[in-house]
Structure 1
Amino acid sequence: MSSTPDSATAPQTAPADADNLVVIARQAILDDKRAVFGYELFDRVTAANCHTAASDAAMLFNALCYAGSEALGGKKTVFINCTHESLAGGHLELIHPEKVVLEVPTFGADATPEQIAQLIPTMQALRTRGFRLAFNQEVLRRAYASWLPLASFIKLDMQAIKPELAEPLVKYVQANCQATLVAEKVETAEQHERMAALGVKLFQGYWFAHPSTVKAQTIRPSQAIIIQLINLVRQQASTAEIEDLLKKDPTLSFNLLRFINSSGFGLSCEITSFRHAVMILGLKKLFRWAALLLTTSSKDGAPPAVGQTAVVRGRLMELLAAELLPKEECDNAFVVGVFSLLDSMLNMPMERALESVALPESVQDALLHNKGVFAPFLELTKACESGDDEAFARTANALHLSNRQVNWAHLQALTWAESLTAEA
């Protein structure tokens, strides 16, 4: 059986609007009574009449900002495919974990015990924050025994499992962990009946429903108004002051209300007041949201690569600062990195660009004079970006950071930034 596209699917959009179109595919996950338990979301990028799927949790940021809650999943649980690097991404700080399941892939056949063990602290931290984790049947291999206690869901691929192995696999899961089983890629009634008879309660696959697409036009606020919002947040302005700014710009307020009412937040009631939205989000998350919008807000002027590079710098500086500086300074490190290309994004000298933004003196010292506590972090970040080995070695040594620490942080920052700007 296959589903027809639901009413949330937007009509075809004119080619001229293609750059402002977000396309998300979703496939239902049903319970044993054929009721919808949740939806798995897939990022869909249309180009030259073909579709490619991007598998990364950061896709959720664009999905929730632009596609809307009811269109994506309503109040149902949402399953999102992740990469290992994206599990540490700051975008997950913007998502309420109650209705989100993160699908974590296993490593390849040549995975080492060290690789498998290295990811456990990150996954444990996500579980502590309330996220549920899903794994495929590869997690049942002996090498992944340490992952099993972290599993809330385990997906069994009906196209990869021989029929005679279904029963022993199900019994193994039932005996060794508390995870809920999901039979996925179910394409025949026989497969469904076999798994249901073994006690499996959740099902996904073409026999029930093909993925349907949800399309939405992006409505992007101007960079100037986002900078004003960041300015207010950095000044720790009152809720009333922030509310006044939101009232003046319908695109900014529209994006905020759509984001906070999305399924990722898991709120039980709809938020219609700007004041209420600001209070629920809080200044720290409001700043993060605005900073991400800033780098993806303009289709004209600065090329997209500038915004992406700014995000890489911000995230990399945040990760490096976390190794050496107090936690409260990590946000300022993020600001230095993101705003280090503000002159290019706004097409004006840095001094003039910073006149409109209230920033701590330590941040301005780094951006304007290459001095202060953040200056060596910014220099190291630029060295990573340019491949300047001499500057890299000098600044890394000065900060007492190993090559491994810096390279791992750089990889995480690159992955995070690429996924965040994939739909920009």
Structure 2
Amino acid sequence: MGHEVLMSVELGHVFVANVNDGKLIDLRIEPVGSDNQDVGRIYLAKVARVVPRLQAAFVNIGENSDGFLGAREARTLLIDADRDTPIEDCVHDGDTVLVQVNRPADGDKGPQLTADISLPGRYAVLTPCRTKVSVSRSIEDDKERQRLIELAETVRDRLGIEGMDGLAGWVLRTAAEGVDNELLEKDMEMIAGIWTDILDKGDDNDPPCLLHQDLGGIERGLRDFIRPDTASVTIQGDAAFRMARSYCQKVMPQAEALIKQGESGEILFDRYDINGTIDKALNPRVDLPSGGWITIETTEAMTTIDVNSGSHSDPALAINLEAVAEIANQIPLRAVGGLIAIDFIDMSDEADGKKIEESLLAAFKDDRVPVRIGQMSNFGVIEMTRKRDRLSLLKSLPTGYFDDPDGEDD
């Protein structure tokens, strides 16, 4: 079966499913249209209030609530800042700043902002606050990495996009592997043009002002989810299908042949029981093959995961390793972010704890967002953090998604 992408538009939302060998590995749900996409927006904004005790600033972006700019995300504004530079050295009340949304608003919490702007294309990402040209760690071939770096440096010199301290940096994405030079150059040129337009718009307007918003759900799904080994992209709905074909023709013509339209009357997400997988991911309890289970519970502060053996006598290490594999499936699928604490079954051998740590690191090696994993404590708990770049699965699902079409709940 290989890798597939399934897209469907329902209840005013775009659903993009990332499927590998018939198994749902990631799901993106967002309102139709780029106007409703928060993450990736770039604003010319004004600092409303610096709060040293929080090591953060509240920033007026012209929306219903101020954005939250933490010290770590603000340090990019100072060329000589280090990890200990306080927020009050980075920004001051009334400052005009260029910021980007990296986490959407959630309830009464405003969006989280960063001054470390990134502008993604299909194959490359412009990082104007940095100077380095780098390549995705997922590209392991040394010759290919060198080819991409040399090409990007050549194009960067020609484009001459200025950053904070010299020419702006670039990152070559995983999708750039094996792509010919002409396509890569066109992608970088397109991104550079967008950045120039952003700066020009910023010069012509006063804060707060929206300068840029990312693509809509269909285009972003194509840009971010299609891989070199993708076998097909199936799209439900005439308008969405036409939009996808048009985007591929303009930006990624080599992928146009992958685009297929779902059959009329087909419920696309019944393939591979995707809807069943989504339904199970809304349940705190997930059963393990051994007969044990994990319980996943999220609060405002953090997510806790408890590993249970039940009445089964399998060795604790074996059940814990099963749990690691399932946790690595569930966390991306549920779009869990922030602080996560995993309480494993007690193990008497310290070496077994190291095996769990190594297994967890390996399981999250290819996660699409940054993950940091700590060591196991004396109490059998591992703490980890995962960047929260979107709302959780539960909060993303539109109301009535699992309602019966005749009006009765399943």
Length-normalised TM-score, structure 2: 0.30
Structure (1 or 2) with the greater helix fraction: 1
Q: Which has the higher contact order (CA 8 A, sep 6+)?
A: 1
Higher strand share: 2
